[in-house]
């Protein structure tokens, strides 16, 4: 009885979801916290890294320019009064797609919802995202890369 297992490691879910063993617990926690969470008027999206020295952590990334060379990347949502961190699984959604995906979870689109302000950094922002969020009753502010592909040169003011 020294080793008692309740999960099958050969499950097909193990190949697509790194947290598949604890997924039921994570789902219950997400539903529980979502019931008590009120979306603030100002939402900020950014990314952060958590230092990790464990070589057994499959989600860690190497960054030679940081004080901690190995770290786990997470997306951080902030407001004035609350600070909520959610680990992000590795997928192809990045930049503006990540903001839309996270906003769908945080506050689903509604024609009658209150207006919100979304603050992002240059990695997430684009004119296309600003127009999409405007249709969802959200304003977007942040810094933008003027040399980014798809950025209209007519928007630049000097």
* Separation between Cα atoms, residue 136 and residue 139, nearest integer Å: 9
Q: What is the DSSP letter of 14?
A: G
Instruction: For the chain, give the mean pLDDT.
Output: 75
Which CATH code of 1.20.120, 3.30.420, 3.30.70, 1.20.950 fits the domain covering 12-146?
3.30.420
Q: What is the pTM of this model?
A: 0.57
Which tokens hold the place of 75?
């997306």
pLDDT tens-digit map of 1-35? 567 666 777 888 888 887 788 888 888 888 888 78
Furthest C-alpha separation in the chain: 73
pLDDT tens-digit map of 114-141? 888 888 877 777 778 888 888 888 888 8
């Amino acid at each position: 009885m020294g080793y008692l297992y309740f999960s099958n490691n050969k499950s097909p879910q193990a190949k697509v979801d790194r947290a598949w063993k604890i997924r039921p617990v994570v789902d219950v926690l997400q539903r529980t916290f979502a019931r008590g969470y009120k979306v603030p008027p100002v939402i900020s999206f950014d990314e952060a890294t958590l230092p990790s020295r464990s070589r057994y952590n499959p989600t860690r990334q190497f960054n030679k320019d940081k004080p901690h060379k190995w770290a786990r990347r997470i997306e951080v949502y902030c407001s004035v009064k609350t600070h909520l961190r959610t680990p992000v699984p590795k997928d192809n959604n990045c930049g503006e797609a990540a903001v839309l995906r996270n906003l769908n979870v945080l506050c689903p689109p509604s024609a009658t919802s209150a207006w919100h302000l979304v603050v992002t950094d240059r990695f997430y922002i684009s004119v296309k995202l600003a127009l999409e969020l405007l249709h969802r009753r959200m304003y977007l502010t942040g810094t933008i890369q003027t040399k980014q592909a798809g950025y209209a040169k007519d928007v630049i003011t000097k």
